[in-house]
Amino acid sequence: MDSALSDPHNGSAEAGGPANGKTRPPSTPEGIALAYGSLLLMALLPIFFGALRSVRCARGKNASDMPETITSRDAARFPIVASCALLGLYLFFKIFSQEYINLLLSMYFFVLGILALSHTISPFMNKFFPVNFPNRQYQLLFTQGSGENKEEIINYEFDTKDLVCLGLSSIVGVWYLLRKHWIANNLFGLAFSLNGVELLHLNNVSTGCILLGGLFIYDVFWVFGTNVMVTVAKSFEAPIKLVFPQDLLEKGLEADNFAMLGLGDVVIPGIFIALLLRFDISLKKNTHTYFYTSFAAYIFGLGLTIFIMHIFKHAQPALLYLVPACIGFPILVALAKGEVTEMFSYESSAEILPHTPRLTHFPTVSGSPASLADSMQQKLAGPRRRRPQNPSAIYEESSPKDPAAVTESKEGTEASASKGLEKKEK
């Protein structure tokens, strides 16, 4: 996953620029400020709205929108898998023709981009449909095998409104496929980022620290140690990065001197910020302290990245600055509020939602294993009794009884049974 913030050097010919080898004219300070500010805004939008949608996704019952939970084992493996994928792409670009590789990747991301953009705009588009819109339900089902061995491969439910959103997204997809325009690239990139923050859930804060810590090392190594990440980012013609031209004021929409931000710098901190929002909600204090703290930390970290990149005129590993900010600031707040234990014991996969009953304590059980087994067998063998409605009666029924009272109850039951037999004989 590309995760570098890159700034083309003013006056240099780089990927995406003129093919005749002529140097670009220097970008104006206004153009540079516009490009950096736009990248920052584009990074914040999917994090903010994706975090909000991740809460609804965790509460939802729709199988097609169920989140993918990242465990600590997944987090530990991810930097290794990402490194192998990045190095593989780098070798492919060195060995094979860049044109054919990008053609295959363009077709692949064309399909993924349409689906991601359709899922992104669907909640917004539903507000514009009239009440009497003829909305029909559909189901796409692929199965494998037959009879008892049949298993579902794809089971996706959608309606007419989803088809309309799919058609609109297809227009953007065709535009991107034919022109590779930077606006179409950003639309797909924003959709990928928002869907990633919404549907990828960390199971706890410790897993988030493992993931961000591993990718911190990954990002620093591949940006500072080698030229692999920057080369792949400039050669890879796919919507895996957000771009904005620094010469927009001079050339308009046909500008080609781009500053770029990898989607990894948006999605990876974004899923951690979304986790802290769900943690805020689990506290049930009607405050979003940790969410706003981590969100402000992300703004600070990305702003610091842009500043250092502009000073040194070299691509920067954004996670070098984002990871300490996004982890450190919330932990400092937790230390100040005395909620560090609650933060690290929170489990997103078993989060307490408003409509979910919470077990606050466990009943105590005493006695030897043999006596417990006997009592369970007697309860299973005996007839079921109606549960008394009076709380005091519940307590009396569940509390241990005096042996004498048990004997008296047994004698009373035998006496009533003998009286019943005498009446029947008479």
Q: Which residues are catalytic?
A: 219, 265
Rg of the chain on CA atoms, in Å: 30
> CA 4, 5, 11, 15 torsion: positive or negative?
positive
Q: Strand pairing partners for 137?
A: 159
- Return the axis-axis angle of helices 289-312 and 319-337, rounded to nearest 10°: 150
Residue 56 CA to residue 281 CA, distance in Å, equals: 12
Round to whole Å and give the CA distance between 47 and 300.
Answer: 14
CA separation for the pair 32, 82 (Å, rounded): 31
Interatomic CA distance for residues 37 and 26, integer angstroms? 18
Amino acid sitting at position 117: L
- The encoded tokens of residue 19 equal 């093919």
Rounded-to-integer distance, Cα 266 and Cα 39, Å: 11
Q: Which residues pair with 156 in a beta bridge?
A: 140
Handedness of CA 160, 161, 167, 170 (dihedral sign): negative
Residue 164 structure tokens: 């309309």
